[in-house]
Amino acid sequence: MASSHERRADTGTAGVRDSLPSDHPIARNLRDVRRRADDAARAAGRDPRNVRLIAVSKTFGIEHIRLAATAGQTEFGENRVQEALGKCAEGSDLDVRWHLIGHLQTNKVRKVVEPFSWIHSVDRLELLRRLEQAAAEQGTKPNLLIQVDLANEATKHGVPPADLPQMFEVALGYRAVRVRGLMLLPPFENDPEQTRPYFRRLRELRDELAADGVDRTMLEELSMGMSHDFETAIAEGATMVRVGTAIFGTRPAPGSAVKPLDTRERGPA
């Protein structure tokens, strides 16, 4: 497992090592997703190298991660802490970076600040404080994203936009953790155009915070977009897209064996 919390992966298509057979589903899917992401970035007048692909491997085993890593994928996203920690241990020989993208309970903070290079789901001030304390004690420097609540959905978490300035003010004084941007989980819609306003609003919030004096190094990243809408998210400024089913196939039901790869069904990443 990569020890650095600072390296940025090359997410463009140039230089990707693809030692899996070219017709292997994961290799084929990764090429397709990278091509679509690159095309979306270029269409928006952006450099494709500034869009990072996070392969969301939740519910899939370490063997799927190894296959994707062999095809050149270096960044993987996990939702559940316990499931992810097992994969981090099993894949300790892999040169990959782990992203925690699911909700994080405060009682699990000490477990995540070492294996995870990125924690996307900082959704309250107390969690931010706990992460700083744990990272300082363990000598790690994880990168954090502030999860923003733009839809006020009862089943999702996030910081209301009005509370963001306080979060950044507190984070500015921290030395172990580093806030690097914003993250969004919009309401799921089959039509990406229905989620475009949420993506656009997150970008606008980032720009407003910068105009109000928030350090721009704390606003570099926008994590938004999943398998069914990542191209729209890139068009609206995403620097990280979290793609699962478009790479690994349909997710298995809880407690069932992983099924053969199949990307015909495109649900949330």
Instruction: Spell out the domain ranges in the chain.
Output: 25-248
Show the tokens assigned to 51: 């869009």
Show the tokens assigned to 256: 């069932």
Q: Which of 94, 100, 29 is nearest to 245 (CA)?
A: 29
**pLDDT over 70 percentage in the chain:** 86
CB 104 within 8 A of CB 112: yes
**Per-residue model confidence (pLDDT) at position 152:** 84
Q: Which of 9, 13, 68 is nearest to 40 (CA)?
A: 13
- DSSP reduced 3-state for 197: helix
Beta-carbon-side half-sphere exposure of residue 266 (alpha carbons within 13 Å): 16
For residue 224, the one-letter residue type is M
How many angstroms separate the CA atoms of 211 and 258, rounded? 47
Q: Residue 121: count other Cβ atoms within 10 Å of its Cβ.
A: 21
Show the tokens assigned to 170: 């507190």
Euclidean distance between the first and the last CA atom of the chain, given in angstroms as a whole number: 23
CA-to-CA dists, residue 138 to 108, 109, 113, angstroms: 14, 11, 8
- Superfamily of segment(s) 25-248: Alanine racemase (3.20.20.10)
How many angstroms separate the CA atoms of 52 and 46, rounded? 13
pLDDT at 12 over 80: no
Q: Which of 4, 6, 22, 3 is nearest to 92 (CA)?
A: 3
The pLDDT tens digits of the residues spanning 87-141 come to 999 999 999 999 999 999 999 999 999 999 999 999 999 999 999 999 999 999 9
Of the given ranges (21-35, 214-228, 247-261), which has the lowest mean pLDDT?
Answer: 247-261
Q: Helix 62-70 vs helix 25-43: angle between axes, to the nearest 10 degrees?
A: 60
**Per-residue model confidence (pLDDT) at position 7:** 41
- DSSP reduced 3-state for 223: strand
